[in-house]
Amino acid sequence: MSYTTLSQIENGARRVDVDDLMSLAVALNVSPIVLLTDRTKSGSETVTATGLGDVEARDLWDWLRAERFPITKRLAESPVADPDADLGWILGRPNWVNGIADQAQIDEIRNLSHQLQRIVRRFDGDD
């Protein structure tokens, strides 16, 4: 990264793109996650994240690590009708992270999710 580019970023004349973020993280010897999060004294402090709004710092950290999706007020008030949307969170991660070996396991997870959704709808009185 050139001195000019770094100066433009520091002065707000240039937005940081993904390549810049990666270069800065390597130069600073930190994970890119560190550059994407506010420093807080505790995980329960509220931080603002673009696209998510206000979330707890711990939830944002877990989301950036692909551990779980933070439940925000906006998301809690708009239930997901499509069970595959919930699976997107799991299946969007690399299979080796989830311990999934092949397509058969993915199909089995999808089938179990659909069955669970039908059971939930039955208890909710939607079926």
pLDDT of residue 81: 46
Confidence of residue 26 (pLDDT cuts 50, 70, 90): very high
- Name residue 91's amino acid: L
Averaged pLDDT score across all residues of the chain:
79
pLDDT of residue 100: 74
Confidence of residue 64 (pLDDT cuts 50, 70, 90): confident
pLDDT score of 22 more than 90: yes
**What secondary structure, in 3-state letters, does the chain show?**
CCHHHHHHHHCCCCCCCHHHHHHHHHHHCCCHHHHHCCCCCCCCCEEEECCCEEEEHHHHHHHHCCCCCCCCHHHHCCCCCCHHHHHHHHHCCCHHHHCCCCHHHHHHHHHHHHHHHHHHHHHHCCC
pLDDT of residue 28: 92
Copy the structure tokens of residue 103.
Answer: 């397509």
pLDDT score of 80 more than 70: no
| pTM greater than 0.75 | no
